[in-house]
Structure 1
Amino acid sequence: MDGGRAAAVGGDPSPIAAPSNPPALSSRPVDVSSFTHTPCYCEENVYMLCNELIRTGVADPAGTDLYVVFISNEEKKVPLWHQKAGHSDDGFICWDYHVICIQSRRSKEVLDFVWDLDSDLPFPSPLIQYVSEAIQPLSFGNSRYARLFRVVHAPVFLQSFASDRSHMKDPEGNWIQLPPKYEPIVAEDGTTNNLNEYIMMSVGDVADRERMANDVYCNKHGVVLNETIFPEFFAQLPAPHT
């Protein structure tokens, strides 16, 4: 759970050399401490972050420039770097899943940004920097560690997502990690828990690019991308439906 527990691995997956750093941010980083953050509840943190970006005018009033991204795989072993919870100098950790927000205005003049409350990279970070430094292409090809990315348009996610936090309780009903102080998130249709529907993903869920570019705006669970498609996906999106 990025979120919750780091997945056990036999050894750190080795990345290839990352590309050189991109140009400096076009605007000053935002104070990460101004956002709601409960350790190990990345999905709820991103839900709250999207609402705050909309409320403060950093995002479009309807949140159409925001995308929630669940990162996981069939093995529930997701290598990421530059995570504050990492225990090495490069911030390496292997989560069972992680959740971030990407802000994309699809403009050549404005960079796509990643909002990751759990990263030690600039907040927000240009997408190109986040991909090269936090995701880091793996040095081996068809690996069980290969990441999948479920991309959900924020306006859809904010209406549909729900969590009763039961995934953070042990079999006796005790909290594994203390929950947020606010009430659990309930979907507009009354659903109280569908977190697993967003986390579960497999390579078979990856569709063709043209279909995904349209489906991301209407599918409750968004679309699933692999590591090859993900870095270029947002640059190829059509304008969101209004």
Structure 2
Amino acid sequence: MSWELRREECKYTSCYCEENVWWMCNELIRLGVRCFAVVCSNPNRTTPVFQQRAGNEANAGLVVWDYHVFCMQCDAEGKAIRVFDLDTRLDFPQDATEYFERTFPEGPMLFLRQTFGDIFFRVVEGESYLREFSSDRSHMKLPDGKWQAPPPSYACILQDDGVNRFDEQMAISSKDHRERGSGWGTVYSLDEFRETFLYNNKHL
């Protein structure tokens, strides 16, 4: 590669993956890399994700997030090559096919869907994510005004109109999937995502 993005050089704040990805998209686009932000969620806001640093080794790093966001690099054919996830135990970046095999393993995910429901993936062009993502971080405030997790030291990422769009951008409903392509980004099921974006062979 003629460019390199190291984990230790990325802006990172625990529990603010949506903002971490905004900064990664910003850097990758500056480097001339075609990238996408991928929001994982479902109507129940229960998204099982394996190989997470916040998870337990005994459970293969499984965490059930209300949502999770990572960044992926795609080639000219629109297939994912690498995934950039600052919360994963895996390499950074990680080959996209291996990332999905280990982060959303087929057998365990089929079992977990009985408890947590299907998960969906909202895929947003990196440029669109930079232009349109907008959060005032109010979702991280408790009723008493305290933070659920310490916020980043930099100012909120708000667009010029100052409107907080976090809830609509991170939430994924069954309607979003049925009418995919009609809203922000395009929403896929896990099987549809694999078929659309992944190579059968390792690409790294």
CA deviation profile, 1:149-169 (whole Å, cap 9, x unmatched): 111111111111111000111
* Structure 1: distance between partners of 2:5 and 2:143: 39
* Structure 1: distance between partners of 2:151 and 2:85: 19
* Structure 2: distance between partners of 1:223 and 1:97: 16
Partner of 1:201: 172
Partner of 2:147: 175
CA deviation profile, 1:46-82 (whole Å, cap 9, x unmatched): 0011112223x2x43xxxx111111011111111111
Q: 1:101 aligns with which of 66, 71, 96?
A: 71
* Structure 1: distance between partners of 2:46 and 2:150: 23
* Structure 2: distance between partners of 1:29 and 1:136: 28
Partner of 1:7: none
Where do 1:205-216 residues align within 5 Å?
Answer: 205-207=176-178, 215=181
Runs of 4+ with >6 A deviation:
26-29
* Structure 2: distance between partners of 1:35 and 1:198: 23
Partner of 2:48: 79
Contact 1:69 1:99 in 2 (8 A): yes
* Structure 1: distance between partners of 2:111 and 2:141: 35
Contact 1:76 1:97 in 2 (8 A): yes
* Structure 1: distance between partners of 2:105 and 2:76: 23
Question: Residue 221 and residue 111 in structure 1: after superposition, are their counterparts in 2 closer, same or farther (change >3 A)?
Answer: closer
Partner of 2:95: 126
Richer in strand (by share) = 2
- Post-superposition offset of 1:203: 2.4
- 1:36 matched to 2:11: yes
Determine which structure has more spread, i.e. the larger CA radius of gyration: 1
TM-score (norm 2): 0.85
- Structure 2: gaps spanning 5 or more residues: 200-204
- 1:67 matched to 2:39: no
Where do 1:108-123 residues align within 5 Å?
Answer: 112-123=81-92
Partner of 2:202: none
- 1:140 matched to 2:133: no
CA deviation profile, 1:149-191 (whole Å, cap 9, x unmatched): 1111111111111110001111111111111111111124x13
* Structure 1: distance between partners of 2:174 and 2:83: 23
Question: Residue 91 and residue 134 in structure 1: after superposition, are their counterparts in 2 closer, same or farther (change >3 A)?
Answer: same
- State, as a whole percentage, how many aligned pairs show the same letter: 35
* Structure 1: distance between partners of 2:127 and 2:154: 21
TM-score (norm 1): 0.73
Q: CA RMSD in A?
A: 2.6
Partner of 1:239: none
Contact 1:113 1:127 in 2 (8 A): yes
Question: Residue 134 and residue 142 in structure 1: after superposition, are their counterparts in 2 closer, same or farther (change >3 A)?
Answer: closer
